[in-house]
Amino acid sequence: MDLAALGTLFFLQVTVILAVARITGYLAQRYLMQPRVVGEMIAGVLLGPSLFGAFSPDMQAALFPADTRPILYVIAQMGVGLYMFIVGLGFDRKDFAVNAKGAAIVSVAGMAAPFLAAVLLVPWLLQQGGLFGEGIDALQATLFLGAAIAITAFPMLARIIHERGITGTTEGTIALSAGAIGDAGAWVLVAIVLATLNNNMTNAGIAVGGGLAFAAFMIFLGPRFFAYLGRRAENKGVDNGLIGIALILYMLSAFFMDAIGIHAVFGGFLLGTAMPKGKLSEGLKQALEPVTVVLLLPFFFTYSGLHTDLRVAGGGPLLWVALVILLASVLAKGGASYLAARWVGQSNRSALGIGTLMNARGLMELIIINIGLQSGVIEPSLFSILVLMAIVTTLMASPLFELSRRIR
Amino acid sequence: MDLAALGTLFFLQVTVILAVARITGYLAQRYLMQPRVVGEMIAGVLLGPSLFGAFSPDMQAALFPADTRPILYVIAQMGVGLYMFIVGLGFDRKDFAVNAKGAAIVSVAGMAAPFLAAVLLVPWLLQQGGLFGEGIDALQATLFLGAAIAITAFPMLARIIHERGITGTTEGTIALSAGAIGDAGAWVLVAIVLATLNNNMTNAGIAVGGGLAFAAFMIFLGPRFFAYLGRRAENKGVDNGLIGIALILYMLSAFFMDAIGIHAVFGGFLLGTAMPKGKLSEGLKQALEPVTVVLLLPFFFTYSGLHTDLRVAGGGPLLWVALVILLASVLAKGGASYLAARWVGQSNRSALGIGTLMNARGLMELIIINIGLQSGVIEPSLFSILVLMAIVTTLMASPLFELSRRIR
């Protein structure tokens, strides 16, 4: 395809991607009382083989030909990494400050139960065949599935807690801390799985060593290193100069993490956490969030949706696999968090709220499983099943949380 | 190249593109008293065959391999179209309100002289050979070169006038009106050249008819059509919903103009002018400008720079062509505007200010000549010469304007 034709097709693709994302997002919000992101996740699936491709394979192939996949991929990567950078900007160290015994126990339960579920499920799943990539051993499969079950839609959780005005309450603190700790843990495990994928020991060493060095730098030296940027923002506001520096640091972090064999999103997220909070993080968020959320993330949903074929879970033995994974995920994350919250003395209302929020996986799940698919940890069949799990557990959250509010 | 490697390389490319743009932009601003955009234009040239490619062809080819050109191209197109949309948002109908005889005369002079220069130059340039594309006739060459000489960096001009606080003065009004009218005229001519490029009469008809219909819609019906968006913005502010709708309209306009054979930037610009001014245009600008200017435009400068080889103008007959075009451009646009301003009674100071501002071509010139190169109107040699002309006339503006301020 010549460049002019490619450019023309690209504008048509983006028109369709954005229009479908806006419409499903609007419908989800208006008629299902769901956060917009659920609708946009579904939009991606609709544009893939599950609906558009099943309905008209020719039109789908004409709108998303193979030539354009690299472009969608690259923009999706940049967008999702920027989104994780923005999530990192909102990830305050004090979210980790476990100021109640309760938070620690809920965190542990919300990580231990998913891994127990993974330990129990993986032998059975490996027996089914065709779910995990070739050469993936039981340990790697368990770590990855555990992380996929344990992950929480932290940004969504933080927003709901903020919107409901329960930020200072025990319920809010427990959910926020447990979500943050659980997500950090899940990401570490995914990074370990990625590092061990290299059969080559030198490459694995580079991945582990480089990843640890990067994380250590961002956690211990980063805040001091970037303090100057924070001071500049406090004095002069966030201008294009600061935005440019932040974007260069982001691109460099994403490149470094990709190059050592981890993943760009870790670079973005860790950099975001290391940025000084206050005017800088607020200003960067304001400058980057609209384009990232409205324009770039739908590329990620679409790229992800183009690889999702929900028809694989539509019948036969894979339907059982899908139902078992869904049930295990809800019980191991939502159920365990609920029980742990009850155990530390939370009311039924508060414990149900915590369990519900911890159980919503949203975009974070999509990010993890896209990494798994790209790196060959999971096959398209398990990928599609986990997309379904991500959508269902995210859809459950709003009605269940509403329900919990009616408990006195 | 597999997708993972492509993604990794992409992050490295963006790191280099943004870092070089920031550094040259900073140096231009700090040491040459130039607007940042001049530095970023130069950054693109430095990354191309003129410097980086001349210095180390292997490294340049490794950083910008052929596989990645389509990605750079598509992001550059999206970015420059969005930039033109933002320019359109700041393009108020009252800029066209020629409330002084002076503005009309300066406008006419600033368009007539460039076309006279093109009429005189084109026969000589066609004799040189290898400057215009094959099959381009003298009329097309004249219209295109006239537009390339007549174009003004309108956004830069508007910013300088605003920053200097001369918005309400005769000098400010004349420069603003003459710049707006001149740019609109130049774009119309480029659109005509593009429409006539189709040897196929049906396609030419589609281009002319579709372009006129689109322009008429945006000029006469657009403002009424989009008034609802403006009211929503006035009442509820500019949220992600409105940003999403604006982006969909932009992508659709860009697609339509590309598809009929004009160019995406016209779609963006005309849509921007049709958007209600006030909270909506301000909010959209605030949401889209940082990412467009800091992240996306450097892609355009780089893509443009990768096709610019200043060495072609470094010696032999092309050096003369470059010098003659540069001189003719300065005299025909800057000189004619100065004389016209003097003729309608402006002081020497004010006339020199007007002439200088009209003569700066900046990014607008790069956009026009990139369209010319892509569509085969001009060859890489003339493209490189016009890049040089764009940089030099933009570099001249700030010191000359400073000089004009010292005239009493």
d(CA B127, CA B116): 18
pLDDT at A298: 94
Residue B25 lies in a domain: no
Q: Do B255 and A15 touch (CB under 8 A)?
A: yes
Beta bridge partners of A378: A132
| ipTM for this model | 0.89
Domain termination residue (choose one: A69, A92, A126): A69
Are A161 and A84 found together in one domain?
Answer: yes
Structure tokens at A307: 């690889």
Q: Which of B40, B71, B74 to mutate to test the interface with A (most CBs of A within 10 A)?
A: B74
pLDDT at A158: 79
Provide the greatest CA pair distance for chain B: 65
Q: Which of A198-202, A297-301, B285-289, B376-380 has the lowest mean pLDDT?
A: A198-202
Q: For residue B57, what are the contacts with CB-CB under 8 A and spacing of at least 6?
A: none
- List of chain B residues whose C-beta atoms are within 8 Å of the C-beta of residue A262: none
Helices then strands (H, E): number in chain A?
A: 21, 0
Other C-beta atoms closer than 10 Å to the C-beta of B316 total: 9
Q: What percent of chain B has pLDDT over 70?
A: 96
- List of chain B residues whose C-beta atoms are within 8 Å of the C-beta of residue A206: none
Q: Tally the domains of chain A.
A: 2
d(CA A318, CA B92): 60
B208 pLDDT band (50/70/90 cuts)? confident
Domain that holds residue B99: 88-406
Are A246 and A317 found together in one domain?
Answer: yes
Q: CATH number, domain at B377?
A: 1.20.1530.20
Residue B56 lies in a domain: no
For CA atoms B234, B80, B92, B190, the dihedral sign is: negative
B226 pLDDT band (50/70/90 cuts)? very high
Give yes or no for a contact between A42 and A50, defined as CB atoms under 8 angstroms apart. no
Note the pLDDT tens digit of each residue in A238-279. 999 999 999 999 999 999 999 988 888 889 989 998 999 999
A288 pLDDT band (50/70/90 cuts)? very high
pLDDT at A88: 87
- List of chain B residues whose C-beta atoms are within 8 Å of the C-beta of residue A159: none
B26: nearest CA partner in chain A: A241
Q: Which of B294, B304, B375, B377 to mutate to test the interface with A (most CBs of A within 10 A)?
A: B294
Q: Which of B3, B26, B251 sits opposite A11 (nearest CB)?
A: B251
Q: Do B264 and A291 touch (CB under 8 A)?
A: no
- Answer with the residue of higher pLDDT: B122 or B210: B122
Domain termination residue (choose one: A69, A88, A116): A69
Are A268 and A150 found together in one domain?
Answer: yes
B334 pLDDT band (50/70/90 cuts)? very high
- pLDDT of residue B65 exceeding 90: yes
Q: Which of A37-46, A178-187, A299-308, B374-383 has the lowest mean pLDDT?
A: A178-187
The stretch A3-11 carries a mean pLDDT of 93
- pLDDT of residue A148 exceeding 90: yes
Q: Where are the alpha helices (DSSP H) in B91-169?
A: 101-128, 138-150, 154-163
pLDDT at B161: 80
What is chain B's length?
408
Q: Do B70 and A73 touch (CB under 8 A)?
A: no
Are A201 and A308 found together in one domain?
Answer: yes
Residue B10 lies in a domain: no
pLDDT at B315: 66
- List of chain A residues whose C-beta atoms are within 8 Å of the C-beta of residue B62: none
Residue B57 lies in a domain: no
Min Cα–Cα distance to chain B from A291, Å: 7
The stretch B399-404 carries a mean pLDDT of 90
Other C-beta atoms closer than 10 Å to the C-beta of A325 total: 23
A with B: how many residue pairs have Cβ under 8 Å apart?
136
Are A339 and A364 found together in one domain?
Answer: yes
Are A158 and A60 found together in one domain?
Answer: no
Q: Do A12 and B291 touch (CB under 8 A)?
A: no
Domain termination residue (choose one: A22, A45, A69): A69
Q: Do A247 and B295 touch (CB under 8 A)?
A: yes
A100 pLDDT band (50/70/90 cuts)? low
Q: At B370, which helix (H) or strand (E)?
A: helix B362-374
State the DSSP code for B95. Answer: G
Are A306 and A370 found together in one domain?
Answer: yes
Note the pLDDT tens digit of each residue in A190-208. 888 888 886 667 777 888 8
Are A59 and A87 found together in one domain?
Answer: no
Q: Which of A40, A255, A301, A302 to mutate to test the interface with B (most CBs of B within 10 A)?
A: A255
One-letter amino acid for residue A401 of the chain: F
Mean pLDDT score of chain A, rounded to an integer?
89
pTM recorded for the entire structure: 0.90
Min Cα–Cα distance to chain A from B75, Å: 9
Q: Do A74 and B78 touch (CB under 8 A)?
A: no
pLDDT at B4: 85
Structure tokens at A13: 């693709």
Residue B28 lies in a domain: no
Q: What angle do CA A289, B163, A278 make, to 5 degrees?
A: 30
Q: Do B247 and A77 touch (CB under 8 A)?
A: no
Q: Which of B2, B6, B8, B282 to mutate to test the interface with A (most CBs of A within 10 A)?
A: B8
Taking CA atoms, B157 is separated from B41, B175, B292, B335, B408, in Å, by 17, 8, 19, 17, 22
Are A366 and A350 found together in one domain?
Answer: yes
Other C-beta atoms closer than 10 Å to the C-beta of B285 total: 18
Other C-beta atoms closer than 10 Å to the C-beta of A206 total: 17
Beta bridge partners of A132: A378
pLDDT at A199: 67
Q: What percent of chain B has pLDDT over 90?
A: 60
Q: Do A70 and B3 touch (CB under 8 A)?
A: yes
**Residue A27: is it exposed, middle or buried by C-beta count within 10 angstroms (0-12/13-18/19+)?**
middle
Q: Which of A14, A258, A290 sits opposite B7 (nearest CB)?
A: A258
d(CA B117, CA B146): 7
